Amino acid sequence: MVKRREGFTVDVSLRVAAGEACGLFGASGAGKSTVLACLAGAETPDDGVIRLDELTLFPPPLPLHRRPIGYLTQDASLFPHLDVSQNVRFGLSNGVAGGSEDWIAELREKLQIGSIWHQPAHAISGGQARRVALARMLARRPRLVLLDEPFSGLDRHLVRELIAAIAEWHALLGFALLVVDHDAEVLARICPRALAIEEGRVVQSGAWDALRAQPATPLLAQLLAPL
Amino acid sequence: MIRRAAAVVFAIALLYPLAGLFAPVGPWRWGGTETAGAVWISLSLTGIAMVIVVVLGTPMALYVARSSTRERLWWQAVLLISVLLPPLALGILLSLAFGPHALGAFLDRFGLQMTNTPLAFVVTQTYVSIGYYVLGAIAALDGVSPRLELQGRLLGHGPWSVFWRITFPLARLGFAVALSLAWVRSLTEFGAIVITAYYPAGMPVALWTNLENFGLPAVMPLLLVFLLTALPLPWLAHILAQRRFARA
């Protein structure tokens, strides 16, 4: 897919297998988030083709509400006028399958949001909001999950908790997973495969060890080097 | 405490012109232009105009609010032109634009008279108020993050469902204010209405004819009735919006 930006063009070609977890890694402004936004439908590519199994997401742009995609950013984007329970059920109130009470209860228990279940979404902490956003996204059983810096601004122990939760649900539901983060260590804990992006182009793809052993560019070497 | 006292002083100053109701103008004359008729005409035709304003203005506000900055500036200029026109000038322009040498001749073929008819009244009220509603609604929509709407769409809801479940509940207070402004602007319109629809006489025209024919004693009671009938609807809109907002 191609997306023209002021000053540079994002032009990437990538394939993620069903159930695979892949980390998009690169410097700030490399175009990682643009890739996710185009996949989610938040932005429309200028050219190219995007497919999700039998579904063509682009072209023409498939309406967002018909995309079986979960999209989580550093801003949990909970609906502030609804409580936690209503937020989690939001995606199930439109005739979507898989919305049984057992399923909701499982999400509530495993993500430890039972104690805040009836609290207004605007009254919970940042860490809780991420877990609620994760539950809301997973409730629809998406086939592809896009996470754009989901750990940004969280304490270290909250990041660990969230990583564990994402890994667990990924194994359980088997969705394809694309994660963007600037921290290679965090990404490597969720995603066995890395895709390194520089100035809108994929410069290297493979296992993290391979990237660290032989980085394709000097910038990538710098980004992967320990502090 | 000081702030509240200042607010009270502000309110007293704001409402001070109403002291004129107690001016010694002689015994109030409740006859004059038929009061109930004028009230009914004003409230019913303004109600119809408000339905049109909301139905046409809300999608426009949504479009402008979510358009690019450059495009948005153009649309806002268009809306401001409609708001900035002096009412009398707007009335003259409307009577010319919908006159027999323009669109009026075409509408006349379908039996639609654009002068001194309820239709002319409603069209004029719509023109004078829709700009206020749309500008107010845009400001209300600006308070709702597009990211929330994006999440709503990705959670399987179409644009209409997202509007009702996310956008409108979060912007309802602003919508209530926009509708109130449009209602008041429309209901109190005189300058444009007096040109396009002197008949049927609504409240502002009735006030004018009472003043002309019977003097101040015939204006005061009509003014009181006007205030009492015009206030409840926009106030109710605010009350409902505040209540739901507090619950949310």
More confident residue, B114 or B181: B181
A51 and A110 co-located in one domain: no
Question: What span, in angstroms and rounded, lies between the C-alpha atoms of A19 and A171?
Answer: 8
- Whether residue B230 is predicted with pLDDT greater than 90 in this model: the reply is no
State the Cα angle at A185 between A213 and A194, rounded to 5°. Answer: 60
Q: Does residue B32 register a pLDDT over 90?
A: no
Residues 6+ apart with CB under 8 A from A214: none
Task: Give bridge partners of residue A145 from the DSSP assignment.
Answer: A70, A177
ipTM computed for the complex = 0.87
On the question of a cis peptide bond just before residue A60, with omega within 30 degrees of 0, the verdict is yes
3 state DSSP class of A62:
coil
- Among candidate residues A115, A140, A165, the one where a domain is terminated: A140
Please state the domain count of chain A. Answer: 2
Chain B residues near residue A77 by CB distance under 8 angstroms: 145, 147-148, 150-151
Question: Has residue B40 been placed in a domain?
Answer: no
Q: CB-CB: which of A41, A67, A77 is closest to B148?
A: A77
For residue B184, tell me if it sits in a domain: yes
The verdict on residue A73 lying in a domain is no
Predicted pLDDT at A208: 92
Amino acid occupying residue A74: Q
Residues of chain A contacting residue B248, judged by C-beta atoms under 8 Å apart: 80-82, 120
What residues in chain A have per-residue pLDDT under 70? Answer: 93-99
Q: Is residue B87 part of a domain?
A: yes
Q: What is the pLDDT of residue A29?
A: 87
pLDDT band at B37 (very low <50, low <70, confident <90, very high): confident
Both A37 and A54 in a single domain? yes
What is the CATH classification number for the domain harbouring B172? 1.10.3720.10
Specify whether A128 is located in the same domain as A104: yes
Q: Are B196 and B120 in contact (CB under 8 A)?
A: yes
Structure tokens at A139: 């409730």
CA angle B48, B53, B54 (to 5 degrees): 100
Which of A120, A140, A160 is the last residue in one of the domains?
A140
Provide the domain count of chain B: 1
- Is residue B239 included in any domain, yes or no? no
Q: Are residues A217 and A149 in the same domain?
A: yes
In a domain, A90, yes or no: yes
Note whether A153 and A133 are same-domain residues. Answer: no
Examine residue B131 and state whether it is found in any structural domain, yes or no: yes
* A75 in a structural domain: no
**CA–CA min distance B176, chain A (Å):** 17
Q: B239: pLDDT confidence band, cut at 50, 70 and 90?
A: confident
Instruction: Tell me whether residue A22 is in a domain.
Output: yes
- pLDDT at position B247: 47
Q: What is the mean pLDDT of residues B202-228?
A: 88
CA distance A137 to A187: 20
The answer to whether residues A160 and A191 belong to one domain is: yes
**Domain contains B100:** yes
Query: Residue A71 is which amino acid?
Result: Y
* DSSP-assigned letter for residue A63: P
Identify whether residues A39 and A29 lie together within a single domain. Answer: yes
How do residues A179-206 score in pLDDT, each as one tens digit? 998 888 889 999 999 999 999 999 999 9
CATH number at residue A36: 3.40.50.300
> Do residue A23 and residue A43 come from a single domain?
yes
A residues 98-137 closer than 8 Å to B (CB)? 120, 136-137
Q: Do A151 and A39 share a structural domain?
A: yes
Kindly identify which residue of chain A lies nearest to residue B161, measuring between CA atoms. Answer: A94
Average the pLDDT over B52-59 and give the result.
97
Which of A43, A44, A52, A65 to probe the B interface (max B CBs under 10 A)? Answer: A65
A31 touching B, CB under 8 A?
no
Domain annotation covers residue A118: yes
pLDDT at B244: 56
Any domain includes A151: yes
Q: Domain range for residue B52? A: 48-202
Domain span holding position A86: 80-140
**A67, A75, A79 member nearest B154 (Cβ):** A67
* B216 domain-assigned: no
| Residue A154 neighbours by CB distance under 10 Å | 17
- Do A106 and A149 belong to one domain? no
- pLDDT the model gives residue A152: 84
| Residue A24 · residue A178 · CB < 8 Å | yes
How many C-beta atoms surround the C-beta of residue A191 within 10 A?
24
Q: Could you tell me if residue A74 is inside a domain?
A: no
The closest CB to that of A96, out of B156, B166, B248, belongs to B156
- CA diameter of chain A: 52
Q: Choose the final residue of a domain: A96, A120, A140.
A: A140
**CB within 8 Å of B154: residues ≥ 6 apart:** A40, A41, A64, A65, A67, A69, A70, A71
Q: Is residue B107 part of a domain?
A: yes
Which residues, 6 or more positions from B22, have their beta carbon under 8 angstroms from its beta carbon?
Answer: none
Within this chain, do residues A99 and A193 fall inside the same structural domain, yes or no?
A: no
Question: In this predicted model, what pLDDT tens digit does every residue of A31-56 receive, in sequence order?
Answer: 999 999 999 999 999 999 999 999 99
Q: Are residues A163 and A215 in the same domain?
A: yes
